[in-house]
Amino acid sequence: MRTGQKNKNTGRLSRRFKSEIPNEAIEDQTKKIPNLLFLGLGLASLVGQAAVQRYIKKRFLSPILGVWGPVFLIFGLYNKMVKIEEELLPSRRRRSLH
């Protein structure tokens, strides 16, 4: 049975097709975001954390800002991987939901 076809016995979509819908939707939206945005957010978070720790001395706020730096950088890495995958695998076509 091809992906996305209805099972004749149950009339339901295959499990594989159902699990690919959210992944494709996330990848499509992620590709629209520029890589420099994630890099800028990550660096701004780390610089902001250092500035808060140095000048404002709010001890509860500094670690919160510092945690987000690596998170944004990992998001940027995922974004870059999705874009590279599309370039390397042009034969991979998005399946229509119909």
CA distances from 46 to 40, 66, 81 (A): 10, 5, 23
Three-state DSSP class for 89? Answer: coil
Q: Which residues contact 42 (CB under 8 A, 6 or more apart)?
A: 68, 69, 70, 71, 72, 73, 76
Interval 83-94 mean pLDDT: 73
Give me the pLDDT at residue 12, please.
Answer: 57
pLDDT tens digits, 64-77? 888 999 999 999 99
CB 44 within 8 A of CB 24: no
Residue type, 38: F
Higher pLDDT, 49 or 29: 49
Residue type, 36: L
CB 47 within 8 A of CB 62: no
pLDDT tens digits, 2-43? 555 544 545 555 555 566 677 778 888 888 889 899 999 999
Three-state DSSP class for 6? Answer: strand
Give me the pLDDT at residue 7, please.
Answer: 47
pLDDT tens digits, 53-63? 888 877 788 88
Give me the pLDDT at residue 97, please.
Answer: 46
Higher pLDDT, 9 or 87: 87
